[in-house]
Structure 1
């Protein structure tokens, strides 16, 4: 028994299977992750090496060149770029697309282990470039007064709460300051007590260690021992014993406070954050690779709202929110998908001129879409503008098979057949035709899956989504549509369709003037081909996210103060633009992975009014 015959003669089974698919589709849709674009992992590795105190030229000669020589021998390397700046060397290696980055990383690691660098140069750090390294959300915190009042609160309370959110990989804070212990040695007192700077340094390091002390066996139990020697307060550090001087009656213990001034001071700032011209703290949220961007940013928003309620003097300004951008983008594509389906149904109604037939065909659209969600979920796809774009592209094709089937059933009923017989004969008659038509269309999209490189990763989900939706529409057209037609179409209400006289006249003229028709077709085709060079090309259309960014780079070596002065001038210009709502700026960056520049760089995010 063929599939159409089984579906028509067992309508209850067909309807139950349809409901099962709907339930699976709803569950799959609720579990599909939302993202802006498909997950793309470019084969790029960065080697970051720090050389504290060295200038760009020293870094280039002593770090960058040796690292480049080692990395350049890696298998599958396509291009190599480097940047040498004060204190830091950055080497970026790009491999052939499709290369296993993990293997490349192991290869580079083994080569760098053979590299002998000068003392004082830190071990190279290999970082795999991952789009998830970019912050999914950034927001500024200020209270209109001193940053010192809110920095402790942010670091001790807000940051831990953000880090506890499921899916958050790291939370970094730009701006503000850090504290460090500064020891001012008195050379005269050092000489009096026969001490040297090197000896004091060694004593401080030796008394600030925690190490294992072995295993103690007692009462059939083994206990791990630890020797704790951490200095956890500045007062303890001041009382650190350095030496003993014997006296007539006692032994004098010389402490650090006797030969030095010990105090807690602010470290030199390497980053400053501003919001609308006022100093603030800029918090950046990075998500885990497999986390849902929308859910992460939503939970971060909940934490921010809670802090707003508890600390009403604190001002939170969101400078970038990838979750909101994704929601808007996916919402726009979803709206296009919905309206496309409604317009398709309206066109079907106009041409079929039968409400019952239109309803039957219209039912096939949501069922096919829902079935597509099931296949997307089990294929590991995400809801993004590419996959939803493929679904929107295929929504018009979803009804093609159903229209062919319902029209042929309509024709057989017009031949005075019963509904069941007409549904079986009409569906079986065109089953081969619509199957071959669907497979032909799939043959256009499916090969995109096998394209390598960035284009393949980008359009793979679109091609798969179109393929899934067309396969679903074919199954629906061969099962659900004839089953519903056999139950719902009423024979007595059907009338033969009148001939379309206008189309008949055009067709007759074309057949009577075949040479002219062919010449016109060739001319139109040639004219269309000639217009191709006039069409602009771009990789991805520009998207208005409501934000524009300004990057500032001063001459190498510019300090934080001079960079900040330039930033403040740009802030004034940006804030005077009527359409700009929020201006956030970050000068320098403490995180070398996010910005290879130093105190001579700055970036702005500007939000127009919404």
Structure 2
């Protein structure tokens, strides 16, 4: 790097222009970066959601779940397949190895399912998950008008205007109604005429078509022929002819003779209520590369210009734009404060109160300005590199830059201090600047490169952890690369221009200042004592490190910190078969309680969505066993911290319903709850183990709302068809079952172009079949046209009985399974994990039954394992870099042995501030490794330089440690004070990640810096002086002994 410094000093004007260019390009890059809340993350999960109305869980498994599972198993790279089947629906989750092309996998699954012979009327959807896929804007619109009129206004005015905004991918409505044609078929009449609902449906479909039928020559020109008959009005549909019977005397009737055909408006898939008032929820999703902030700003501007009808109210339930801007502004503001704190610390260290405070201030201002310049320049270089890679400015990348503010100053401090020292000795300013920079260039290059390689393994960490933290590591790395080039080019040039020789300081007295200042006078006796008591120093260091590990018993261990959440999600689950009136009654009771919380201002608003549109803002699969209902509660800053616990206590689960409360964490990967998976080939053993284990887990403190997905059963009517009887009607057993389904279930017939509008058509049987099992027995089954037998009651063809069947059937990798789930409330996640594992270990599991922990416990174990591997790999890479730069194995060993000293302060700081030990704190360990390496390399490299000048090992250690004391302390203090705003003042979700990380780094810096200045000199003398001398003495002894033996 020497040539860079020489080139910069010789071409000062070019260097200054380059600096101004970096500033301009950096500002432009910053304005060009898209701002998002989350880094771009793709999960290795694909889900298949399939529905088959009126089918029981066992039928769903046999006819849908198993065929799909079998088909997917044959696809390449599938890791695990789990499924949950309940009445009328199944949810299959497919897990792939990390790094799989999920877009291609999604297409493969769709293609594979389309090749399977699945029941007619079954519908499926393939879903690819990703964190942060919540809509960027959610609006609730309510009105004194009826929902139909409100919906028409929303669709024609609001939706149309929002869809015109560039970057909007889709707009979804919940709680809206849909205009459709209902054909209410009289089953009694059709049965008497020998018509089945499926025959009527086929007649309707066959009379609405437009198909090519060939082509002919007409007047010398080839003309296409198309056969057309379209039902374009309600009258045409009513007058549709239907032939009854197949004889010449067959009767011709109209559809209106056997059905009432009319327009109806019905909820599409869900019902929405805002603060207890019926409403429509409008959700806006953006395209992948679109800007959230830009879209939301344009959307709000559009809404402000929209004139709402009288009595119509619009509420913003969620707006990602201001939330992103707020979090990024907070981090930027605290990074700015960190910059000023760092500059102030540098100023204090450079301040010399003698001969007068005014002269000291005057002499300190110039070097302080130089250091102050290095921080924004390094950060701007990082921003330029982020922009080149087309990364977004999110809470991880900006958090990385904010954290880097405290680290990028280190290289510049070391260079400036070295240049300053040479200039103050009275050397030629150009040569002093060059010599001072070259003297430390190798050390700062090695330390910066070591810090960079520490983060390299994060690029290879699989899963969610790697995806979230790799952008953070890139931001820090790019800023560090910038700091190195700034330190080796810009700082020397600015030093040459701004620094002056202090005439008040005699030549050579700078060495006296550096070795005899008040800090040095305090440090020297401590250093002398430790060098004279090496064993005691090492034992004390080891004891402190080991003792600090005991703090892990009181520090909460979590996956990701949870912040002051602004929203709570309440997920309802009702008993199977509960009527809609009962469900609505429970929800109304809950909403009434929320209204009481609105009065003191604890709750701002709440939105309840009932039905298939009710998906938790926090994500997750559909809920089974009842109607899906989600209430999203927006809380105020005045709400008590234990609000969610109060809600749990007020609405505990009972036999009629359960409510699961979840903090909506928008600042990082979703924090999961308790999850225990029990698998086995024997369903009875799996069920018994699940029920026993769930009862024991319920007793654990901090675990609430424990549920098992196979507890309970439901009644099911089975119709076992006699094939011998069915064949006499010209029907198969399946044909009879289809007729039963047609007589009970509403069917979708597709769409018709009615009055110019595409309109859905449903066939709705009207019968008294739901009034009891006896009416089912008397249901008329219509024989085929060729059977000669027309109308036979179902009881003559089938044995009808009531049986008990499971409500939910779970499978994991084709084995029957049970899942125990619950929430974690107010207790250390790792401690709960230990308690549950102890319960599992104390139980004697039946043969063939396997129990595995999942959820939050898997998150923690896998996340910490991955970070642990990254730390170990980082240390190995640092050692390789150190060996390359320092040319010795002993020095890297000294550096590695000094790293555990950071744990003392880190764990102590987390314990004192009541912070948790999560992945952000573990990331702090990686950053600490880089900082400790910087300080240690600066010290060891100077010791080596003094030894080359003829100093003895002991004298070189004392001299180098005393002279390098100030830059090492400057590095530690400026880094700590730069991080102080992040550690003390942040409360938002993304900020909490930086808070935990900053506290860990500050604490680790305090202990590592203090002990590095003590332990590293001791270790250096041991490895370079005492141990080699003892080895040499031992070798000489053996050589002499061998010589005597030869003589003998």
Q: TM-score, normalised by structure 1?
A: 0.88
Deviation track 1:490-541 (CA, whole Å, cap 9, x = no partner) reads 3357746643224323322431453154443333323223323432221111
Superposed counterparts of 1:520-535, under 5 Å = 520-535=540-555
What is the rounded CA distance, in whole Å, between the counterparts of 2:621 and 2:162 in structure 1? 22
- Counterpart check, 1:342 vs 2:340: yes
- Counterpart check, 1:596 vs 2:596: no
The CA deviation at 1:46 is: 1.3
For these two proteins, the number of residue pairs brought into alignment is 601
Using a 3 Å threshold, how does the CA distance of structure 1 residues 463 and 265 change in structure 2: closer, same or farther? Answer: same
Deviating more after overlay: 428-437 vs 594-603:
594-603
Whether contact under 8 Å (2:424, 2:502) holds in the other structure is: no
- Counterpart check, 1:582 vs 2:605: yes
Deviation track 1:336-366 (CA, whole Å, cap 9, x = no partner) reads 2111111111101110121111011101111
Whether contact under 8 Å (1:581, 1:608) holds in the other structure is: yes
User: For residue 164 of structure 1, what is the aligned residue in structure 2?
Assistant: 164
The CA deviation at 1:20 is: 1.9
What is the rounded CA distance, in whole Å, between the counterparts of 1:231 and 1:327 in structure 2? 53
The CA deviation at 1:374 is: 0.8
What is the rounded CA distance, in whole Å, between the counterparts of 1:185 and 1:538 in structure 2? 58
User: For residue 448 of structure 1, what is the aligned residue in structure 2?
Assistant: 458
What is the rounded CA distance, in whole Å, between the counterparts of 2:454 and 2:198 in structure 1? 74
User: For residue 415 of structure 1, what is the aligned residue in structure 2?
Assistant: 425
What is the rounded CA distance, in whole Å, between the counterparts of 1:501 and 1:171 in structure 2? 68
* Secondary structure at the counterpart of residue 439 of structure 2: helix
- Counterpart check, 1:298 vs 2:297: yes
- Counterpart check, 1:605 vs 2:614: no
* Secondary structure at the counterpart of residue 131 of structure 1: coil
What is the rounded CA distance, in whole Å, between the counterparts of 2:52 and 2:143 in structure 1? 37
User: For residue 49 of structure 1, what is the aligned residue in structure 2?
Assistant: 50
- Counterpart check, 1:75 vs 2:73: no
What is the rounded CA distance, in whole Å, between the counterparts of 1:28 and 1:425 in structure 2? 35
* Secondary structure at the counterpart of residue 134 of structure 1: coil
Superposed counterparts of 1:33-432, under 5 Å = 33-105=34-106, 107-109=108-110, 111-122=112-123, 124-131=124-131, 133-184=133-184, 201-212=201-212, 229-238=229-238, 240=240, 256=255, 261-267=260-266, 270-307=269-306, 309-311=307-309, 313-353=311-351, 354-432=364-442
Whether contact under 8 Å (2:614, 2:630) holds in the other structure is: no
Deviating more after overlay: 445-454 vs 104-113:
104-113
- Counterpart check, 1:508 vs 2:534: no
* Secondary structure at the counterpart of residue 36 of structure 1: coil
The CA deviation at 1:471 is: 0.6
The CA deviation at 1:474 is: 0.4
Using a 3 Å threshold, how does the CA distance of structure 1 residues 126 and 583 change in structure 2: closer, same or farther? Answer: closer
What is the rounded CA distance, in whole Å, between the counterparts of 1:416 and 1:8 in structure 2? 19
**What stretches of structure 1 of length at least 5 have no aligned partner?**
244-252
Using a 3 Å threshold, how does the CA distance of structure 1 residues 196 and 536 change in structure 2: closer, same or farther? Answer: closer
What is the rounded CA distance, in whole Å, between the counterparts of 1:410 and 1:217 in structure 2? 97
What is the rounded CA distance, in whole Å, between the counterparts of 2:225 and 2:19 in structure 1? 66
User: For residue 556 of structure 2, what is the aligned residue in structure 1?
Assistant: 536
* Secondary structure at the counterpart of residue 543 of structure 2: helix
Using a 3 Å threshold, how does the CA distance of structure 1 residues 442 and 217 change in structure 2: closer, same or farther? Answer: farther
Whether contact under 8 Å (1:134, 1:594) holds in the other structure is: no
What is the rounded CA distance, in whole Å, between the counterparts of 1:143 and 1:137 in structure 2? 20
Whether contact under 8 Å (1:132, 1:287) holds in the other structure is: no
What is the rounded CA distance, in whole Å, between the counterparts of 2:493 and 2:319 in structure 1? 48
Using a 3 Å threshold, how does the CA distance of structure 1 residues 42 and 568 change in structure 2: closer, same or farther? Answer: same
The CA deviation at 1:229 is: 4.7
Using a 3 Å threshold, how does the CA distance of structure 1 residues 102 and 358 change in structure 2: closer, same or farther? Answer: same
The CA deviation at 1:213 is: 6.7
Using a 3 Å threshold, how does the CA distance of structure 1 residues 590 and 223 change in structure 2: closer, same or farther? Answer: farther
- Counterpart check, 1:566 vs 2:586: yes
RMSD: 3.4
Using a 3 Å threshold, how does the CA distance of structure 1 residues 109 and 419 change in structure 2: closer, same or farther? Answer: same
Whether contact under 8 Å (2:184, 2:260) holds in the other structure is: yes
Deviating more after overlay: 402-411 vs 223-232:
223-232
Deviating more after overlay: 447-456 vs 339-348:
447-456
Computing the radius of gyration from Cα coordinates, the structure with the larger value is 2
Whether contact under 8 Å (2:148, 2:265) holds in the other structure is: no
What is the rounded CA distance, in whole Å, between the counterparts of 1:87 and 1:341 in structure 2? 60
User: For residue 247 of structure 1, what is the aligned residue in structure 2?
Assistant: none
* Secondary structure at the counterpart of residue 267 of structure 1: strand
Whether contact under 8 Å (1:43, 1:101) holds in the other structure is: yes
What is the rounded CA distance, in whole Å, between the counterparts of 2:211 and 2:14 in structure 1? 70
What is the rounded CA distance, in whole Å, between the counterparts of 1:120 and 1:30 in structure 2? 52
User: For residue 25 of structure 2, what is the aligned residue in structure 1?
Assistant: 24
Using a 3 Å threshold, how does the CA distance of structure 1 residues 192 and 280 change in structure 2: closer, same or farther? Answer: closer
The CA deviation at 1:93 is: 1.0
Using a 3 Å threshold, how does the CA distance of structure 1 residues 176 and 448 change in structure 2: closer, same or farther? Answer: closer
Using a 3 Å threshold, how does the CA distance of structure 1 residues 149 and 120 change in structure 2: closer, same or farther? Answer: closer
Using a 3 Å threshold, how does the CA distance of structure 1 residues 571 and 408 change in structure 2: closer, same or farther? Answer: same
What is the rounded CA distance, in whole Å, between the counterparts of 2:220 and 2:16 in structure 1? 69
Deviation track 1:470-491 (CA, whole Å, cap 9, x = no partner) reads 1100000111111112222233
- Aligned match for 2:473, one of 463, 481, 486: 463
Whether contact under 8 Å (2:142, 2:312) holds in the other structure is: yes
What is the rounded CA distance, in whole Å, between the counterparts of 1:188 and 1:509 in structure 2? 102
What is the rounded CA distance, in whole Å, between the counterparts of 1:222 and 1:479 in structure 2? 79
Deviation track 1:245-283 (CA, whole Å, cap 9, x = no partner) reads xxxxxxxx9765577543212336641111111111111
What is the rounded CA distance, in whole Å, between the counterparts of 1:518 and 1:364 in structure 2? 37
The CA deviation at 1:186 is: 7.3
* Secondary structure at the counterpart of residue 426 of structure 1: helix
What is the rounded CA distance, in whole Å, between the counterparts of 2:221 and 2:427 in structure 1? 90
Using a 3 Å threshold, how does the CA distance of structure 1 residues 303 and 85 change in structure 2: closer, same or farther? Answer: farther
Deviating more after overlay: 530-539 vs 33-42:
530-539
The CA deviation at 1:552 is: 0.5
- Counterpart check, 1:487 vs 2:505: no
The CA deviation at 1:157 is: 2.3
* Secondary structure at the counterpart of residue 79 of structure 2: strand
The CA deviation at 1:173 is: 0.9
Deviation track 1:354-405 (CA, whole Å, cap 9, x = no partner) reads 1111011101111111110111111232212222222122211111111111
What is the rounded CA distance, in whole Å, between the counterparts of 1:261 and 1:408 in structure 2? 94
Deviation track 1:391-425 (CA, whole Å, cap 9, x = no partner) reads 12221111111111111221121122343332222
